[in-house]
């Protein structure tokens, strides 16, 4: 039997490495040395750390979840004995297992199944067959045609047809052409690109090589976020292994096709997800977007024709080449083909990576796969597309996952962040959160974004801190529309979306804030604490601990909070043993 530990960043963060050490310890003490292997991210982050037990033939026997170091002993012995009753309590529940079963995995096809640090594992799973097919039997035009048939569109957010970009770069005149992979996954709340690189780096490399072949690029870069150290390590290793097997570099697989891939680590700037800013950054400059046109296909890195795609886009390519464009196009809707990966997080029961065919509804993903809202809460909204996207309310949950349909809600498909919110999430504060983000991440080049997002953030701070005034909502909308129309790049043009959608669907919450109440009880400044005279025993605890002495009262008599003095720290609420302090 083999023991395989899920070691993506999430798993490691949850303690996977400690579990591995404990298991290795067990093995050291044991006479029989079982294989203890690793895999990448299975995508069931809510269950991490996860330990899979496989037969020697590679059959998954059992999946153990929420494993602790202390479980190592019985896991090892169970694996030795082949008796799983010892670890019954760790075995994944049927409900939780359905999280994976309901998915259709293409981009994530190997994630959590193979060892990302071993090229032979990838090759054993049909790896590099598509590259071989491409080089040996297809012209670049054939490749582009196949991608065109597949209907694959940019998975980074914009949803632009991939074949079109490839074709433009192919046709652009230039001695050297560059292929660039955008792995600067900056959307807070999205992590599928990280998972792909950490769990299946060769899928990215193979996809990139096929693209390079199609457009005629001999040099390629992967621009990875600096915050993803594990991804960089695994990708470096994968590149070295591929190079050693002549799958990368000069005369790949003995053909005329040569292409090498280099890693460039980003240095922390969300705006570098914008392709011209990314190019500036690759060139060693401040990541400030350029004017378009010229588009990168014409003048990109060092002014040479360049093509930029996102990690997930590339991760689909090898599958499409092997299975045909039609197979990919068979999934999805009229306008959106294939599958899409979502990072499902927030107040949902089962969070993680979800890959599903386009055309399912938001409800399918959040309730059917994600299991609905956790802790007995009620669904309020789902945020899609990160800082460029928007919040979609309950009544639009049956919206199909489709570029057009999602855009009509005011949100976007985006890179696939899906953050679920319940009734305790304040939508105004949510908008403030995103504007705080975009204002901080604005490169500062163009006026509408640099100053406009700042002003929007200031207004939102005022509103959530009880200083909102009538007319603020209108001013916010005016600023939103102005920034949208005037900003230079995608970051600025989409930055107002979180405000526009929350005003559109939750205007009542904005109005309530201006009238000094936060319906979700989240905004500190609008909280009001009071003491229920019926429940107060007059123990004086709260009065003694109040940092500003805002609570008065005689011993054994009901206490009162002086609202003018109260700084809303909540200390009294946390202290009271009788539940007499209430927050309104």
Does the protein bind other proteins through residue 571 (CB under 8 A)? no
Closer to other proteins by CB, 325 or 385: give it: 385
Residue 273 main-chain phi, psi, to 5 deg? -70, -20
Does the protein bind other proteins through residue 488 (CB under 8 A)? yes
Closer to other proteins by CB, 78 or 179: give it: 179
Does the protein bind other proteins through residue 347 (CB under 8 A)? yes
Question: Smallest gap, in angstroms, from Cβ of residue 459 to other proteins?
Answer: 8
Question: Smallest gap, in angstroms, from Cβ of residue 570 to other proteins?
Answer: 10
Count of chain residues binding other proteins (CB under 8 A): 78
Closest CA relative to residue 120, chosen from 247, 209, 250, 210: 247
Q: Which of 485, 533, 557, 584 binds other proteins (CB under 8 A)?
A: 485
* String marking each residue 417-436 x if it binds other proteins according to CB under 8 A: x-xxx---x----x--xx--
Distance CA 132, CA 289 (A): 37
Does the protein bind other proteins through residue 40 (CB under 8 A)? no
Q: Which of 487, 561, 572, 576 binds other proteins (CB under 8 A)?
A: 487
* String marking each residue 171-210 x if it binds other proteins according to CB under 8 A: --------------xxxxxxx--x----------------
Beta bridge partners of 304: none
Question: Smallest gap, in angstroms, from Cβ of residue 158 to other proteins?
Answer: 14
Question: Smallest gap, in angstroms, from Cβ of residue 137 to other proteins?
Answer: 36
Distance CA 541, CA 438 (A): 43
Closest CA relative to residue 275, chosen from 310, 229, 303: 310
Distance CA 526, CA 514 (A): 10
Of 43-62, binders to other proteins (CB under 8 A) are: 45-46, 48
Q: Which of 305, 386, 410, 416 binds other proteins (CB under 8 A)?
A: 386
Question: Smallest gap, in angstroms, from Cβ of residue 442 to other proteins?
Answer: 4
Does the protein bind other proteins through residue 13 (CB under 8 A)? yes
Distance CA 111, CA 100 (A): 12
Distance CA 541, CA 547 (A): 12
Q: List the structure tokens of 47.
A: 């269950």
Distance CA 380, CA 395 (A): 10
Closer to other proteins by CB, 386 or 468: give it: 386
* String marking each residue 243-272 x if it binds other proteins according to CB under 8 A: ---------------------xxxxxxx--
Contact by Cβ (8 Å): 327, 337: no
**DSSP summary character for residue 374:** G
**Which range binds other proteins by CB under 8 A, 86-94, 166-174, 359-367, 413-421?**
413-421
* String marking each residue 436-455 x if it binds other proteins according to CB under 8 A: -x-xxxxxxxxxx-xxxxxx
Q: List the structure tokens of 544.
A: 């003694």
Q: Which of 69, 145, 227, 260 binds other proteins (CB under 8 A)?
A: 227
Question: Smallest gap, in angstroms, from Cβ of residue 93 to other proteins?
Answer: 17
Distance CA 102, CA 374 (A): 19
**DSSP summary character for residue 368:** I
* String marking each residue 273-312 x if it binds other proteins according to CB under 8 A: --------xxxxxxx---x-x--------x----------
Residue 583 main-chain phi, psi, to 5 deg? -105, 130
The edge-to-edge listing of strands for the beta sheet with 417-422 is 352-357, 339-346, 417-422, 379-384, 390-393
Does the protein bind other proteins through residue 506 (CB under 8 A)? no
Q: List the structure tokens of 232.
A: 């960089």
What is the full DSSP assignment across 271-311? GGGSHHHHHHHHTTS---PPPSSSPTTTS-GGGS-EEEEEH
Does the protein bind other proteins through residue 471 (CB under 8 A)? no
């Amino acid at each position: 039997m083999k023991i395989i530990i899920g070691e993506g960043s999430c798993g490691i963060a949850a303690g996977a490495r400690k579990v591995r050490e404990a298991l290795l310890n067990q093995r050291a003490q044991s006479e029989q040395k079982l294989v203890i292997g690793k895999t990448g991210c299975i995508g069931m982050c809510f269950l991490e750390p996860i330990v899979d037990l496989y037969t020697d033939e590679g059959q998954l026997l059992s999946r153990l979840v929420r494993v602790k170091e202390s479980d190592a002993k019985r896991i090892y012995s169970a694996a030795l004995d082949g008796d799983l009753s010892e670890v019954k309590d760790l075995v994944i529940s049927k409900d939780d297992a359905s999280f994976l079963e309901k998915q259709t995995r293409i981009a994530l096809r190997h994630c959590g199944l193979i060892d990302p640090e071993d090229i032979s594992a990838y090759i054993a799973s049909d790896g590099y067959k598509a590259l071989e097919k491409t080089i040996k039997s297809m012209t670049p035009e054939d490749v582009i045609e196949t991608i065109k048939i597949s209907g694959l569109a940019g998975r980074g957010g914009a949803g632009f047809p991939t074949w079109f970009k490839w074709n433009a770069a192919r046709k652009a005149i230039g001695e050297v052409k560059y292929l660039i992979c955008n792995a600067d996954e900056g959307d807070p709340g999205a992590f599928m690109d990280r998972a792909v690189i950490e769990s299946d780096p060769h899928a990215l490399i193979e996809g990139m090589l096929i693209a390079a072949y199609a457009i005629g690029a001999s040099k390629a870069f992967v621009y990875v976020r600096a915050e993803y150290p594990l991804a960089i390590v695994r990708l470096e290793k994968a590149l070295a292994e591929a190079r050693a097997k002549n799958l990368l570099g000069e005369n790949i697989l003995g053909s005329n096709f040569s292409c090498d891939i280099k890693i460039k680590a980003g240095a922390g700037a969300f705006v570098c997800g914008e392709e011209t800013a990314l190019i500036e950054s690759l060139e060693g400059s401040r990541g400030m977007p350029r004017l378009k046109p010229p588009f990168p296909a014409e003048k990109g890195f060092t002014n040479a024709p360049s093509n930029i795609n996102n990690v997930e886009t590339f991760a689909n390519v090898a599958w499409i080449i092997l299975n045909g464009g039609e197979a990919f196009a068979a999934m999805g809707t009229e306008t959106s083909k294939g599958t899409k990966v979502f990072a499902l997080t927030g107040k949902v029961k089962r969070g993680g990576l979800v890959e599903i065919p386009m055309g399912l509804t938001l409800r399918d993903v959040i309730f059917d796969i994600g299991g609905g809202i956790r802790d007995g809460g009620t669904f309020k909204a789902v945020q899609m597309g990160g800082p460029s996207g928007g919040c979609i309310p309950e009544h639009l949950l049956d919206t199909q996952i489709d570029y057009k349909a999602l855009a009509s809600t005011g949100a976007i498909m985006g890179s696939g962040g899906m953050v679920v919110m319940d009734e305790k999430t304040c939508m105004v504060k949510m908008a403030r959160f995103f504007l705080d983000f975009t204002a901080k991440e604005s490169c500062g080049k163009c006026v509408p974004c640099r100053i406009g997002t700042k002003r929007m953030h200031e207004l939102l701070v005022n509103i959530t801190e009880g200083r909102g005034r009538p007319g603020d909502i209108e001013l916010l909308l005016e600023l939103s529309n102005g920034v949208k129309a005037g900003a230079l790049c995608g970051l600025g043009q989409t930055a107002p979306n979180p405000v526009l959608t929350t005003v559109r669907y939750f205007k009542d919450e904005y109005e309530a804030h201006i009238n000094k109440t936060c319906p979700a009880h989240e905004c500190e400044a609008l909280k009001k604490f009071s003491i229920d005279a019926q429940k107060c025993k007059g123990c004086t605890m709260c009065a003694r601990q109040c940092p500003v002495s805002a609570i008065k009262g005689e011993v054994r008599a009901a206490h009162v909070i002086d609202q003018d003095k109260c700084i809303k720290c909540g200390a009294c609420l946390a202290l009271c043993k009788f539940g007499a302090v209430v927050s309104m």
